[in-house]
Amino acid sequence: MKKLIGIATMVLLFSSCTDDNTIDAQQNAISAITLESTFVSIDKQEIPVEFTFHGSSEANSYQMNVSFNGIVKVNGAAVNGTFTYHQGDDVTFTPNEYGRTTAGVQLTEYGTTTTKDFYTLESTSQQPYVFINNSIQRASQQSNGKIYYETRDGSSYGVNKIEIVVVSEQPYTFTLSEQQPILNTASYTFSGNELLNTHEIALKNQNYGTNQFVFSFSNGFTFNYPFTYIQTYVK
């Protein structure tokens, strides 16, 4: 009888510890990471980065892994792979290549990840850098006649908008033309005076899949951007 009581007590204690661990894990969860930075530099200079952790954890340090084609430094020392980040550490990212480099940040203890683009401009270049991002939201599978994007991975997304990113050391103005009329905008002239500028343009309900944008800058620079990796179809 004593053996049975002892076994039952051990099972109860084990279950209690397991439940406590589960509660502790939930209480100390990090649901998201936000990167705060200028996200841009000239001539591959270091770009300071700060982190904000969203969740219930009150930890002062985290195991962090950064996937980045460049140099990551913590308090002036280069790190590789997984490292310990302490709240208040000075962190910098330095891209290896001119243009755009995407950084992937993961908290290995929590599995929380985020990605962010960083840019660096060559000062000897007289021309701006232009990038186009698809700001699209995953759409539910409905037969409602709505136009959807079909991406390379076969997933379906609702049509939303595009984001034009311009990196320029000088103030600029450009006129945008398109091969097919998919942009929902009253004006096709845009300008900016920051090193990193973003222009968001909504897309029309009707669009034609493959496309090409032509950027004509006021300084005479012309840039063609083929928009051919997206296909559209009606669900």
Among candidates 151, 153, 156, which has minimal Cα distance to 140?
156
Distance CA 103, CA 57 (A): 24
CA distances from 128 to 69, 134, 136, 204 (A): 22, 20, 25, 27
Q: Are 203 and 161 in contact (CB under 8 A)?
A: yes
Give the predicted TM-score (pTM) of the model. Answer: 0.77
The boundaries of every CATH 2.60.40.10 domain in the chain are 31-121
For the domain made up of 129-234, give the CATH fold.
Immunoglobulin-like (2.60.40)
| Fold annotation for 31-121 | Immunoglobulin-like (2.60.40)
Tens-digit pLDDT string for the chain (235 aa): 434 344 334 443 444 444 444 334 444 588 899 999 999 999 999 999 999 999 988 889 999 999 999 999 999 999 998 999 999 999 999 999 999 999 999 999 999 999 999 999 999 888 899 998 876 665 555 445 555 555 555 555 565 678 899 999 999 999 999 887 878 889 999 999 999 999 998 877 655 566 788 999 998 999 888 875 455 555 4
pLDDT at 177: 93
Q: Enumerate residues 6+ apart whose C-beta is below 8 A from 111.
A: none
Kind of pairing, strands 189-192 and 172-178?
A: antiparallel
- Whose CA is closest to 102, among 52, 137, 135, 67? 67
